[in-house]
Amino acid sequence: SPVYLRNSLRLELIPFIKERYNENIISTLARTASVLRKDSIFLDSLAPKAFKEAGVIKGKGIVDMDRMKLLKMPEAISSRVFLMACRGLEKAPELFGAHVDAFFDALRSKKPNASYSLGSGLCIRREYGRIRVEQKSGIKKAQGFELPLLIPGITRIPSAGAVIIAKISRKPLSAASFSSRDRAYFDYDEIPKPVRARSFRPGDRMTPSGMSGTKKLKAIFIDSKTPALQRQRTPVICAGDAVVWLAGIRRSDGYMLNQATKRVLMLELRFS
């Protein structure tokens, strides 16, 4: 029955083309399909290696990739990397050309943050230098948290997937030890106790090291190109009412080490 599209093409469209335009249309289509199939098999064989080179990070319902690495790939390869990412999700969606088009829109977007809904709970996001494919069922916002740090000791923050390690040293450390973004050093005897770790709150401010005025943590997140999903997982370290360290990103100018320092508090951030 020509009611169905496949049958209509075979029973009506192809005979029309054969009669009016190309009597060898069937063999021509067959040759073209054969060439395309061979090309596709070759390109498919390159995709797994490219997928590994795309800086892929997998999570539950999420696949995250390096945007610049994807942009350097031929589109025939990067599109296959995208399709592999989608098929690797917990509930692999049915994929169409529109999904691939949305992927390239996100990849080429001049906006540092952009998102494209693809239906069936699937979404493509660009967050600065990363391209993320995610299913809504796999997206979980970090729960708010606030707890005192164990000093010395190890404080685990399960909802943020983070650990804060605190150590006390009786000898001031050299300035060369202050370069790590994941470590911050304070004058232990001067800093107010208890020192607390909490989640980010709208309106939070701090005086970043090297600056004279305060700055919103939101602006610091933007400057550091921290994705929105990661911001609620970033521990905000407070002493008294002051933010002294946006862990892993920026230290404040408070309670610096100096010649009078007798004991040093070292805080180190690790993500589990």
Each residue's pLDDT tens digit, 58-71: 777 788 889 999 99
- Grouping H, G, I as helix, E, B as strand and the rest as coil, residue 163 is strand
Helix, strand, coil percent values for the chain (each to nearest 5): 35, 30, 35
Q: What is the mean pLDDT of residues 190-204?
A: 92
Query: Rounded distance, CA 79 to CA 104, Å?
Result: 8
Residue 213 has which token pair?
A: 């005025």
Q: What is the mean pLDDT of residues 31-44?
A: 94
Enter the DSSP assignment of 193: S
| Residue 23: pLDDT band with limits 50, 70, 90 | very high
CB 232 within 8 A of CB 145: no
pLDDT of residue 268: 92
pLDDT of residue 271: 75
Say which residue the tokens 């020192």 belong to. 195
CA distances from 200 to 131, 218, 232 (A): 24, 9, 6
**What pTM was computed for the model?**
0.57
Which H or E run contains 127? strand 122-127
Q: What is the mean pLDDT of the chain?
A: 85
Q: What is the mean pLDDT of residues 5-17?
A: 91
Instruction: Look at the chain and count its residues.
Output: 272
